[in-house]
Structure 1
Amino acid sequence: MPLTPLHFGVLAPVNYLFPGKVSLVSFTLVNAWIDMKFIEAALTGQPLPAHGDIHSLAGVLIVGTLVAMPGVRYAKWVIGAYLAALSHLLLDGLIHADMQPFGWIEGNPLRVMDMQTLSLILLPFMLWFIVQTVSSSYAWVRMRWAALPFRNHPPKP
């Protein structure tokens, strides 16, 4: 799944149950890093590479740790990084036969479905996430607009 928006569907129930506890920025950085080879191939027109070591438990934990380190003082940042790493491994593991998520187990024991089935399952969550993002962005803009100085003190005639 080369950085499909469907990876972000994971955040919908998490944001609902734990509002404001997960960093979208660290979540995005980890997902992009894990799929960097696929993004590069898609942009340059090259064939998609096989899922390598970065699509393993050790690989995603290393990426998650590297992204989490600069924001280690902020739990929200760290949670976003590790949630992205582990959910990315799980979602990709469900559909890609060429992955070997656990180095000590031959093959991919997580694979149980195809891309279309997983996409249909994740689509409602992705739409839910979009609604959450638009709604919270609108609330943020309204709050900032209300705090502007000219909104609280009308100009003198």
Structure 2
Amino acid sequence: MPFTPLHLGLGASCKAIAHQQFSFMIFAGTQVLMDLEPLFGMILGWNTLHLYTHHLLGALLIGCIAIVIGKPISEFTLRVIFKESNWQISWKTAILSAFIGSFSHVFLDALMHTDMYPFFPLSQTQILATLVPYSFIFYGCLVGLAIGGIGFLIRRDES
């Protein structure tokens, strides 16, 4: 499954901590953009699913795309959902959210997938692969999602 919800645990934690300075929507959109490559790879039968977007330069490129398209899409969506015409996401928030999304995606996937080369094209080493047991990553992301969700709800009630 290319679009794993596990990455959202980190995003929920970031949203709970940074609140208005972090966009969960842009973060989540960045996760989807990152995983378009594995999706196409599964459909087309590629041998390597995590090559072009799943390294540091790819994360930089995907992060830039996510900033440009994520900010207006997220603002429009929030205006429709909350029916407020003045909903704004600052460029600083968009940049932070997109780059945390893209670079954390590379880091987490580099721990889980053996076809990941985080320093490609400079190096084809898999230094992070299998460094941490998958169950630790899985449950860590789930706990992050739960704690982040609770923290966000608490902060939202205080606003």
User: TM above 0.5, one fold?
Assistant: yes
Which residue identity does 1:20 align to in structure 2? Answer: Q
The answer as to 2:104 corresponding to 1:105 is no
Q: 1:74 to 1:125 in 2, by over 3 A?
A: same
Distance in 2 (alpha carbons) for counterparts of 1:99 and 1:21: 30
Q: 1:136 to 1:32 in 2, by over 3 A?
A: farther
1:127-138 equivalences in 2 (<5 Å): 127-132=146-151, 135=153
Query: Is the CA contact 1:55–1:99 (under 8 Å) kept in the aligned structure 2?
Result: yes
Which residue identity does 1:35 align to in structure 2? Answer: D
Partner of 1:29: 29
Q: 1:35 to 1:139 in 2, by over 3 A?
A: same
Partner of 1:9: 9
Alpha-carbon shift at residue 125 of structure 1 (Å):
0.6
Which residue identity does 1:84 align to in structure 2? Answer: G
Alpha-carbon shift at residue 67 of structure 1 (Å):
1.6
Which residue identity does 2:145 align to in structure 1? Answer: M
Q: What does the per-residue CA deviation read over 1:24-51, in whole Å, with 9 as the maximum and x for residues that have no partner?
A: 1211111101112444677x7x799521
Alpha-carbon shift at residue 119 of structure 1 (Å):
0.2
Distance in 1 (alpha carbons) for counterparts of 2:102 and 2:47: 20
Alpha-carbon shift at residue 124 of structure 1 (Å):
0.8
Distance in 1 (alpha carbons) for counterparts of 2:28 and 2:103: 13
User: Structure 2 length normalisation: TM-score?
Assistant: 0.71
The answer as to 2:130 corresponding to 1:115 is no
Could you tell me which runs of 5 or more consecutive residues in structure 2 were left unpaired when the two chains were aligned.
Answer: 72-88
Say what the alpha-carbon RMSD is for the aligned residues: 3.1
User: Structure 1 length normalisation: TM-score?
Assistant: 0.72
Q: 1:63 to 1:3 in 2, by over 3 A?
A: same
State the identity as a percent: 22
Alpha-carbon shift at residue 138 of structure 1 (Å):
7.2
Distance in 2 (alpha carbons) for counterparts of 1:48 and 1:132: 41
The answer as to 2:86 corresponding to 1:69 is no
Q: 1:11 to 1:66 in 2, by over 3 A?
A: same
Query: Is the CA contact 1:22–1:76 (under 8 Å) kept in the aligned structure 2?
Result: yes
Which residue identity does 1:34 align to in structure 2? Answer: M
Point out the structure with max Rg over C-alpha.
1
